[in-house]
Structure 1
């Protein structure tokens, strides 16, 4: 059996205010072509299908079209929810969907009831472990003393292994889970799942199965030969600028895990970062290659430029993020040192100068002084 492991679609997410639905549908819809070309039997999605628990209608429509294309290409689909999804909403009509080849494993109490598919070597049991919020999961799994994510996932995997032990010899196993496993590398676009400061789950929790398809972390990575993150299919923050977005093609043979192959996905619009003074960035011909990239720009002008993002977008229409970090050799004072012996007027003038990079004009100083006097009069 050949599996395609993907996760963290986050359909409906924007990128610094830019709509991504068209890009998401293009990349995710292309998985159907991969299913057909690579002979994929089953597509597994390890959580965060949507970016919100209540997705917009347009996001649902995109997801519906993508899943329909994948199913029409010939693959069964197994999905479990992540921390961004609503398990109850995602699992609605799951019994009916399963009849059409879409298996939604969303119920915590049923995580040890696998989807069982068959190939020429016999049965393959696919267990979907929904994202387990520790407090409700402790009660749903009847383990009141379980601590954090590690505790509830340990119980979940105990139940999976117990069910697997009762099945006929030769049953191969795949687990879908949405968690932060120790050794994984995080990035800025993932919502924290820390509870009481602890979010990591030991890798050993997932011992005893043939393959573990993980979701939550957005960079593709291998924690063990049989335990991997596929990562998100698109970049959702500039911290992912060096990611090579991909999916895993997983082959199960008669003895279990056979081989795993990485397949890189197309990039609708690349990311880049720029640093320098505004005029230099607008005039330097070396940056022409970045005109079609999403850009994060760090401006180093000593004085904050007027309307810098609009000016940048005249040359770089996809500049979406801007910070001002003036180059300065002056030491930064502690707050107590900065205000010691200074009047309210002096501190207001210095605040404007610090925010903008140059001192306020005479007119601005007069307006600040008049405002402070007015405030003092009202307080008096």
Structure 2
């Protein structure tokens, strides 16, 4: 049995206000090609199919075309709802879609009802867990009283393990797979900006973190929510998003995990790359340096995050940059003389300096490197001398 683990399609999302529809559609078409080339039996999308709970009509069209291409390539599809999705909207006509090999798992009350597959070794149960906010679970199960995501996932996985145990009574071999959209412990921190606030702020006080042992007892766990691929254990992995949605993802590989299940459970897991329609890069320098004829040729057709180091921000800087880098979408002004300030406290920066030196440095800072003129310095020093004399007379 071969499964392709992907997640976080975010259909309808923009990149700093620019549509990603055409790029994402080409990547999902390439994913369907992988299904055909590698004889994949099922594609798992672990949450955040859409970028919004009220997706635009074009996003539904993209989903229909992507799923149709995957089905035509020979695989069934299992989609779960994530925190961005509207479960009711995503799950609309889910039962009808299942007859066509497209299985939408968005109903919290039915989280322990797997999609059943089979190969030469026997049955495979794929449990698609919708995004499990504790409030959703409390409304569906009277016996759940938890308030954290860990408690919600523990409850859900107890339901899954109980169902799998019942199914094993009538099967010589049963292999199990869980798809979950959550933040699991062990995710490696990144020094880069990870994009939207909700992706950065998903560990508030530790309440949203699920320990890996929550997922004990299944052969493979296909996780979604983190946009970069990560291997937490051999059987617990994030696939990441198939397309770059922020500059924080500019160095992360984009693709999907090809998961092979053998007679004894998890077999080989292989990373398959997906194409990058437009890379995301960050360039830094003065405006003249960045507009030089031979500057950053790799950025000409990329999404570009610009850091300008001119002492003063040039007029119409973005418009001029876009004549060379048409997909420049963000600009930060960081004068070179300010970059050595760092994170040092004010007390540390002024330690051992005279009042006159502190004033001179302050003026240079707020004037983009231009300190006081000789006339200004004379007035300032006279004022400081007068203050010193007044203090001495007390």
> Per-residue CA shift, 1:255-311, capped at 9, x if unaligned?
111110110110001111111111111115132232111110111111111111111
| Residues 231 and 245 in structure 1, CA contact (< 8 A), matched pair in contact too | yes
After TM superposition, the structure 1 = structure 2 runs for residues 185-204 of structure 1, keeping only pairs within 5 Å, are 185=188, 188-189=194-195, 191=198, 192-194=201-203, 198-204=207-213
Length-normalised TM-score, structure 1: 0.86
> Per-residue CA shift, 1:173-206, capped at 9, x if unaligned?
0001000001113662352445666221101100
Is 1:2 the counterpart of 2:2? The answer is yes
Mapped to 1, the partners of 2:19 and 2:335 lie a distance apart of 31
For the pair shown, which has the larger CA radius of gyration, 1 or 2?
2
| Residues 304 and 356 in structure 1, CA contact (< 8 A), matched pair in contact too | no
Is 1:246 the counterpart of 2:255? The answer is yes
After TM superposition, the structure 1 = structure 2 runs for residues 1-380 of structure 1, keeping only pairs within 5 Å, are 1-167=1-167, 168-185=171-188, 188-189=194-195, 191=198, 192-194=201-203, 198-283=207-292, 285-328=294-337, 354=366
Mapped to 2, the partners of 1:97 and 1:295 lie a distance apart of 40
Mapped to 1, the partners of 2:126 and 2:224 lie a distance apart of 15
Mapped to 2, the partners of 1:106 and 1:100 lie a distance apart of 17
- The residue number in structure 2 matching 1:344 is none
SS of 2:291 mapped into structure 1: helix
Q: 1:137 to 1:193 in 2, by over 3 A?
A: farther
| Residues 44 and 77 in structure 1, CA contact (< 8 A), matched pair in contact too | yes
Q: Which runs of 5+ in 2 are unaligned?
A: 347-361, 372-394
Which stretches of structure 1, 4 residues or longer, exceed 6 Å deviation after superposition?
330-334, 355-359
Mapped to 2, the partners of 1:70 and 1:233 lie a distance apart of 15
| Residues 303 and 358 in structure 1, CA contact (< 8 A), matched pair in contact too | no
Question: How big is the shift at 1:170?
Answer: 1.1
Mapped to 1, the partners of 2:334 and 2:138 lie a distance apart of 47
> Per-residue CA shift, 1:322-378, capped at 9, x if unaligned?
1011122596996xxxxxxxxxxxxxxx99x9487779xxxxxxxxxxxxxxxxxxx
Mapped to 2, the partners of 1:34 and 1:24 lie a distance apart of 15
Length-normalised TM-score, structure 2: 0.83
| Residues 2 and 41 in structure 1, CA contact (< 8 A), matched pair in contact too | yes
SS of 1:280 mapped into structure 2: helix
> Per-residue CA shift, 1:200-250, capped at 9, x if unaligned?
110110010000000000111110111100000011111111111110000
Mapped to 2, the partners of 1:355 and 1:16 lie a distance apart of 30
Q: How many residues are paired up?
A: 347
| Residues 141 and 155 in structure 1, CA contact (< 8 A), matched pair in contact too | no
Q: 1:277 to 1:196 in 2, by over 3 A?
A: same
| Residues 137 and 144 in structure 2, CA contact (< 8 A), matched pair in contact too | no
SS of 1:23 mapped into structure 2: helix
Question: How big is the shift at 1:50?
Answer: 0.6
> Per-residue CA shift, 1:62-91, capped at 9, x if unaligned?
111111110111101011111100111111
SS of 1:213 mapped into structure 2: strand
Mapped to 1, the partners of 2:265 and 2:12 lie a distance apart of 36
| Residues 5 and 248 in structure 1, CA contact (< 8 A), matched pair in contact too | yes
| Residues 111 and 156 in structure 2, CA contact (< 8 A), matched pair in contact too | yes
> Per-residue CA shift, 1:141-199, capped at 9, x if unaligned?
33444231101000000110011111134111000100000111366235244566622
